[in-house]
Each structure stands twice: as C-alpha cells, then as structure tokens.
Structure 1
Amino acid sequence: MAKRRKLGNPLALTVMVLLSERSMHPYEIAQTLRRRGKEHSVKINFGSLYTVVQNLEKHGYVEVTDVQRQGNRPERTLYGITEAGRVEMLDWLSDLIAVPAAEFPVFDTALSLLPVLPPDEVAELLLDREQAQSIRAAAMRGVLTQLSDVLPRIFVVETEYQLHMIEAQLEWIKGFRKEVTDSTLGGIEEWKSFHETGEVPQDWQELDEQDIVLDPERAV
C-alpha cells in the first residue's frame, strides 16, 4: 500500500524531479516541462506552480539556493531540492510505479451506470466517444513523433503509454458497441425490458439479495 504523503499533488513530485537535476526558478520549471512535452501528462498551471514550490519549501523538501537579478527585471528566486526532498521524491516515485492505486476514472464510473440509458442510445454515445478518441489518438501519434525527433525515448514513455491506453480503450469500445448493437451482450434483454416497461427486471432485483464479491482484492 502506498504511503500517505504530506503532499499529494503530482506536480509537486514533478517539481522535485526537475530540481534534482539543477536549481531553477518556478518560471524555468514551467518552461522546462513544456519543452519536454510534459503538459500531456502533468497538469501545469503557472499560478499554482508557485504555490506548489512554496508548499515544498514549507515541508523542507526544497530550499532557496540563490536570488538572481538581471538589469531592471524582477528578482528570480532559485530553488533546489534538499536531502529530505530527495528521499521523499525517490520514495514517492517508487510507490507510484510499483503500487497500483484505485483512481476511479470518470469513464469507469459512467460504464458502471450504463443501464439507466437505453441500449440504442448507449451504442450511439459509444460511437461518439470512439470517433473522438480516434482523433485524439491520431493527434497523440503526431505529438509522439515530434517529441521523439528531439527527445530520447526515456523522456516520452508516458506519452507512449497514454497512446497505448487510448488504443486499448478504442478496441474495447468497438467490441462492446458491437455486442450492444447485435444484442449479444449478456443481460441485454433485461436491459431493453427495463426501458420498454419502466419496471426493474426481476433478475436485477434478485441480484441485490446475493452476496456478490465485486472487489478483486477481496476475491483473492
């Protein structure tokens, strides 16, 4: 199980990783993330970035290493990672890679509530999503090609993973939508009956009386 962290914002971890390379000021951090294409995997907001850095400093994970001033420009405060920050960074990143977390994506939530919509409408909505995700996948392939031209692969693996997950979702949607359209999906007759009569099928009512284990971790 992953540890409970003092800071839970992934941007905080990202900042610590960059500062482990060299001291930077917040604006430079934002620019570096953009140059490396990280806006596709990390939510970057310049205003919140300052707050993240301040919180990291409050917890002793980063510290001021220098204050620069060039001409009439405002002073720029450079931050570097502390030893405590380095330990937290490595431990946090290791947890994220090794320990699966229940993230509750909104699409998963929507799928869990499908029966409230008619099957035909669900098929149409899934087609809409399929088309939108196909466009997104094509755009991401373009981004990946551009990034791969200027960055080593180790810096774009998260984009590779995102593309793979979109393509996997597309494959699943196509198969599931076909089952709905062809009426070969298990339970679809009861689903149709629910929308035709407005009455909850008896089979569904009986499900509520059964002791069904839906948690994979409890089932092991």
Structure 2
Amino acid sequence: MSIQIFILGALSEGNCYPYDIKKKIGKHLDQTEARITEGTIYYNFEVLHKKGLIEKIETIQSENRPDKTMYGITDQGRLALEESIYKVFQKFTTIQSLYAALVNLDKVDNQKIAYLIEDIIVKQRKKLDYIDEQKPEEIKVSEDLMDALWLMRDHAYHTIESNITWLEKLLRHVQSRALRH
C-alpha cells in the first residue's frame, strides 16, 4: 500500500507519467533499503486505475518508443489517499511503515494524525512494560540460551525505546503543523 500512497500523493499534486513517479519514489527510497522496479510501479498504476482512484489523462504515441500515458487522481482517489494515510498510522507496525504517509502529511488533518501517534506511543510504552515484566532467569535453560534471551530482550527494549523517542519527535512536528493550519 505504501507505493500506492506515494503514487496517489504525487498525482494529487499534478498529473504525471508513471516513470516520473518512479523517480520521485526513488528519491524517498534512497533513504531506506527498499528498492522499486518499473514493473511494480506499472502494476500499482493498473491496480489504482481499475479501482477508479486514478484516470488516464493523455496517451502520447511516438514511432520508436512505447506509448506514454499521463495519469491524474480522481476525487475517489483523493479520499482513498486520505483514508490510506490514516490507516497506516492506525495499523502501525514499524517506523518504516510510516514513510509513505510522512511525505503526504499536507493531505490530511494533522490533528487527527497527532491523536493516532499518541495512541501508537501508548501502545509502545505498554510493550516496554511487558518486556520489563518478563524475567528470563525464571526459565530453566542453558547458560548460552539464557545469554541469548537477555540479549534479545535488551534489543527489543532499546528498539522500542528508540521508536518512542522518534515518535515523540514526529508528534511534536505534526502538532506544530496542526497549529499552523
């Protein structure tokens, strides 16, 4: 869905060719380990077109080149974009799962996003509490396995702690955007 959010977000700013959007997405993905192929882009364009979220605006034909089709977003597509962004925050899994939504914050109610982020932070803190309650030493296992369990517990704890710190920064950013609009 994140690719579709990127596509809808880009088209909400103006009509584009799929290749142009691939270049835009590539700039955002350069910051991550994710890679995107032209096939993936064209497949997602086709899916969005079949759903009625985007429409073909113009097809340019030239002799020695494949047809080049420009697309635009529909009203239904604008609504779907907004709903998709909210859904990404509601179904939070990882920080990376938010990337496509982050570049489209100008297309949603930032106050609503702030509430969703606050909810994520509460859930992440509950995970920390749960990890705190776990006592690997109460399990009868070998010393090597015990060491591994403590290391995994430590990694999980610090990852969640780091996520909370980042989410708090995001929350402040979104709240300041909400105040400006």
- Normalising by structure 1, we get a TM-score of 0.42
> Which structure shows the bigger proportion of residues in helix conformation?
2
Q: Which has the larger radius of gyration?
A: 1
> Which structure shows the bigger proportion of residues in strand conformation?
2
- Normalising by structure 2, we get a TM-score of 0.50
